[in-house]
Amino acid sequence: MKIHVKKLKTNRKIKTFTLLLLSVTILSTILLGGCKSDPTVSKTETPYGIMRADAQKDENGEYINESYLTEKHPEVIKGRLVMENFIKAYTTADYRTTDGMIAYEFLSQSMLKELKEKDDINQTLSYFKENQIVVQFDGINIKTLQLAADMKQMLIKGTYNWKYIEASEKFLSKNQKDKNISYEMDFTAKFIKENDVWKLEGINTKEIKR
């Protein structure tokens, strides 16, 4: 038994118009899709970069960036936040209440091990109580943030400010400091990823003299 299917006649003009409309739609989609840019990646130089995979440095000893990111990039957001929170914790302490574990939550396992071996907690407690120190965070300026190509290491450079709210006269005199005056420190901090969380692996600081 044969099943006969009756062919429908299609108006040639309608068919041509439909095909033309479909072609225009596809072309528009391709063009619009191609023009859409990633808001987290920058075509021009920014303070946020991805280092070259070979970790090559320039004549000033700075790591060369392969590409640049915007402040909207997820790792840039995380990096800036962890850096700021670490400095806030590091420069905010009161000799009457500190437990000596200043900013420990931000440190890598290797740093925690090193500090434990140096008896850092007891030394910090003794230092703050002996000098009656109350210190306060007074701002941070992140100048550059560089990520390794594998996104597992990060280098941040900048400056931060702090104030001595209270301190013994002996301490202030010895260190040539005054209360309620903002002091500035230059820093270079290295972070590594541990369980997908940025942890401080090391930091170098140098006070900027007035």
pLDDT at 209: 86
pLDDT at 157: 98
- Per-residue pLDDT for 31 more than 80? no
Burial class (CB in 10 A: 0-12, 13-18, 19+), 200: buried
Average pLDDT, integer, range 159-175: 97
Cα(178)–Cα(164) distance, rounded to whole angstroms?
7
Average pLDDT, integer, range 26-51: 75
Cα(107)–Cα(123) distance, rounded to whole angstroms?
18
Q: Given this structure, which CATH class describes domain 40-207?
A: alpha beta
pLDDT at 115: 94
Average pLDDT of the chain is 87
Question: Which residues, listed in sequence order, are joined to residue 49 by a DSSP beta bridge?
Answer: 68, 146
Cα(115)–Cα(77) distance, rounded to whole angstroms?
28
Q: What percent of the chain has pLDDT over 90?
A: 77
pLDDT at 141: 98
- Count of CB atoms within 10 A of residue 23's CB? 10
pLDDT at 185: 98
pLDDT at 63: 93
pLDDT at 71: 95
pTM of the entire predicted model: 0.81
pLDDT at 207: 97
pLDDT per residue as tens digits for the range 79-104: 999 999 999 999 999 999 999 898 99
- Per-residue pLDDT for 113 more than 70? yes
pLDDT per residue as tens digits for the range 8-28: 444 555 455 444 445 545 444
What angle (nearest 5°) sits at the alpha carbon of residue 117, between those of residues 80 and 147?
25
pLDDT at 37: 81
Using an 8 Å Cβ cutoff, are 30 and 1 in contact? no
Q: Where are the domains of the chain?
A: 40-207
Average pLDDT, integer, range 132-156: 97
Average pLDDT, integer, range 142-146: 98
pLDDT at 23: 52
- Going through the chain in order, the beta strands assigned E by DSSP cover 41-42, 48-51, 65-69, 93-94, 134-147, 153-166, 183-194, 197-207
